Amino acid sequence: MVPVFYEIFSEKSPGNGLIYWSKGRCRNMLSYIGAGKVSKSMALYQKSRGFEIGGFYSRSAASAQTAAALTESKVYGSVSELATSCSIIFIATPDDAISGVATALSD
């Protein structure tokens, strides 16, 4: 699995070089599509650095619930619900799921 992200934080941003996709919303709330080891680790690190974690969407509700509990955030029921609620979305899914996620985000 390779996480795919789309835009780069500048070196002066508090993201320390993390890469993200943003729809240009006004709140800087970070959310994740995929709730595996990569996204949970990133979210815990980012939360420790002061970022607001919005929540997780995953094909596995149990994975999303675990990740949300660890970060004191929300479980989203769909990609579209997450996309309309959050300003910065990290995509951390298996490679074969990326195109489906991208399609869902573009709708």
Query: What are the tens digits of pLDDT across the range 45-97?
Result: 999 888 889 999 999 999 999 999 999 999 999 998 998 887 788 999 988 88
**pLDDT, averaged across the chain:** 79
**pLDDT computed for residue 12 by the predictor:** 40
> What value does the mean pLDDT take over residues 5-23?
42
pTM of the model: 0.74
Owner of token pair 């609620």: 85
Instruction: Give the start-end residues of each E strand in the chain.
Output: 7-8, 19-22, 29-33, 52-57, 74-75, 88-91
pLDDT digit string, tens, across residues 19-49: 444 454 435 789 999 999 999 999 999 998 8
pLDDT score of 3 more than 80: no
CB 57 within 8 A of CB 79: yes
Residue spans of beta strands (DSSP E) within 10-107: 19-22, 29-33, 52-57, 74-75, 88-91
Kind and range of the H or E run holding 102: helix 98-106
